Amino acid sequence: MAIAATELGIGSCHIWGAVRFLNDNDELLKELNLPEGMVPCCAIILGQTDEKYELRDIPENKIKTNFIK
Model confidence at 7, pLDDT cuts 50, 70, 90, reads confident
Task: Output the pLDDT for position 56.
Answer: 82
Domain ranges across the chain: 1-69
Cα–Cα distance, 21 to 39 (Å, whole number): 12
CB 53 within 8 A of CB 23: no
Q: Is the pTM of this model over 0.75?
A: no
Contact criterion met (CB below 8 Å) for 1 and 42: no
Q: Are 43 and 28 in contact (CB under 8 A)?
A: no
**First and final CA of the chain: distance in angstroms?**
31
* pLDDT tens, position by position, 18-64: 889 888 999 989 999 999 888 899 899 999 988 887 888 888 888 77
